[in-house]
Structure 1
Amino acid sequence: MAQQLGLDLPARTARGRDDFLVAPCNALAVSLIDGWEGWHPRKLVLSGPPGAGKTHLAHVWAERAGAVILDAADLVDADIPTLAQGAVAVEDIPRIATQAEAQTALFHLHNLTLASGGTLLLTGTGPAAHWALPLPDLQSRIAGTLEAQIDAPDDALLAALLVKLFADRQLFPPADVVPFLLPRIERSFAAARDTVAAIDAYGLATKRPLTRALASAALDKGTAPAR
Structure 2
Amino acid sequence: MTQRQLSFDLPVREALGRDDFFVSPANAEAVALIEGWRGWPSRKLLLVGPPGSGKTHLAHVWATLADARIIAAHALTRADIPALATGNIAVEDCDDIARDAAAEEALFHLHNLALAEGHTVLFTAARAPQHWGLSLPDLASRMQGTPATILHEPDDTLLAAVLMKLMTDRQLSPSPETIPYLTRRIDRSFEAARDVVDELDALALATGRPINRALAAKVLDK
**How far apart are residue 220 of structure 1 and its match?**
2.0
**How far apart are residue 110 of structure 1 and its match?**
0.5
Aligned to 2:70: 69
Return 50-59 or 129-138, whichever deviates more. 129-138
**3-state SS, counterpart of residue 193 of structure 1:** helix
Task: Give structure 2 stretches of 5+ with no counterpart.
Answer: none
Aligned to 1:209: 210
Q: Distance in 2 between matches of 1:13 and 1:59?
A: 11
Aligned to 2:158: 157
State the number of aligned residues.
Answer: 221
Q: Does 1:17 find its partner at 2:23?
A: no
Q: Distance in 2 between matches of 1:4 and 1:189?
A: 26
The residue type equivalent to 1:122 in the other structure is F
Aligned to 1:57: 58
Q: Distance in 2 between matches of 1:186 and 1:5?
A: 29
Q: Deviations for 1:39-82, whole angstroms, at most 9, x for unmatched residues?
A: 12111100101100000000011111111111101101111111
Q: Does 1:87 find its partner at 2:88?
A: yes
Q: Is the 8 A contact 1:47 1:126 kept in 2?
A: yes
**How far apart are residue 208 of structure 1 and its match?**
0.9
**How far apart are residue 4 of structure 1 and its match?**
2.2
The residue type equivalent to 2:32 in the other structure is S
RMSD: 1.2
**3-state SS, counterpart of residue 41 of structure 1:** helix
Q: Does 1:78 find its partner at 2:79?
A: yes
Q: Is the 8 A contact 2:174 2:210 kept in 1?
A: no
**3-state SS, counterpart of residue 148 of structure 1:** strand
Aligned to 2:102: 101
Aligned to 1:198: 199
Q: Is the 8 A contact 2:99 2:133 kept in 1?
A: no
**How far apart are residue 184 of structure 1 and its match?**
2.2
> Aligned residues: percent identity?
58
**3-state SS, counterpart of residue 41 of structure 2:** coil
**How far apart are residue 2 of structure 1 and its match?**
3.2
Q: Distance in 1 between matches of 2:183 and 2:35?
A: 30
Aligned to 1:224: none
Q: Distance in 2 between matches of 1:17 and 1:211?
A: 28
**3-state SS, counterpart of residue 126 of structure 1:** coil
The residue type equivalent to 1:38 in the other structure is G
Matches within 5 A, 1:97-176: 97-176=98-177
**How far apart are residue 6 of structure 1 and its match?**
2.1
**3-state SS, counterpart of residue 209 of structure 2:** coil
**How far apart are residue 129 of structure 1 and its match?**
2.8
**How far apart are residue 180 of structure 1 and its match?**
1.6
Q: Deviations for 1:197-226, whole angstroms, at most 9, x for unmatched residues?
A: 1101111011111111111112223xxxxx
Normalised by the length of structure 1, the TM-score is: 0.94
**How far apart are residue 190 of structure 1 and its match?**
1.3
Runs of 4+ with >3 A deviation: none
Return 163-172 or 82-91, whichever deviates more. 163-172
Normalised by the length of structure 2, the TM-score is: 0.96
**3-state SS, counterpart of residue 42 of structure 2:** coil
Q: Is the 8 A contact 1:5 1:210 kept in 2?
A: no
Return 210-219 or 73-82, whichever deviates more. 210-219
**How far apart are residue 178 of structure 1 and its match?**
1.4
Q: Distance in 1 between matches of 2:6 and 2:187?
A: 26
